[in-house]
Structure 1
């Protein structure tokens, strides 16, 4: 499997999480599994990376959290959800990515594998 440099991924982790939280509210471990599922096992996010990013997104007001009311053996879970500001940010990021993709496609014209 091909890999992407850590530096390239580092700049996009927040965007990945915002995009996935657009689908539904998720708790931490569930979010790591969802990242793997949505990326077809091409990217596995470490828990430390996940929680640092979620904390940063919460501080920026793009994500909020709440405690679930689970009664099972696993204990209570902290769920994360997109705020209205987060929804606007992910739309902005999607436009930015579309533009960046177009630019890169133009630059890579004529480059063979």
Structure 2
């Protein structure tokens, strides 16, 4: 199980540490992807990421909130306060047109990178 959490590096060749580092480099794209289907509040994005991976990947809340601030500063997401009638107010995030463009560009770059790495490692695509 891959958890995106600060943990001591495993032994050389530890694939879970490598995978976590690789995923960590795509946090912005992961968050933008989670917002493509509609506005979400911060913890809802955390849960969506965890659910989408069957619990194999989670991003620390502190990392996510730093990501939200950076994405908002860069104009890739906008935030607003929800109007909850019960419980605390929630800050919602929505992807902007610029965020959609960055997401699409990052996905295209990921597909190209994956194709190149697969070719270099002589890995055959096993996706249906």
Q: Normalized against structure 2, the TM-score is what?
A: 0.79
How far is 1:97 from its partner?
0.7
Residue of structure 1 equivalent to 2:36: 22
For residue 75 of structure 1, the aligned residue among 59, 75, 88 is 88
Residue of structure 1 equivalent to 2:60: 46
Gapped regions of structure 1 (runs ≥ 5): none
How many residues are treated as equivalent by the alignment? 110
What are the equivalent positions in structure 2 for 1:1-40 lying under 5 Å apart? Answer: 1=1, 3-5=16-18, 6-40=20-54
Gapped regions of structure 2 (runs ≥ 5): 3-15, 124-128
Give the 3-state SS of the residue equivalent to 1:56 in structure 2: helix
Q: 1:4 to 1:16 in 2, by over 3 A?
A: farther
Moved over 4 A (4+): none
Residue of structure 2 equivalent to 1:106: 119
How far is 1:4 from its partner?
4.2
How far is 1:82 from its partner?
0.1
For residue 92 of structure 1, the aligned residue among 105, 108, 112 is 105
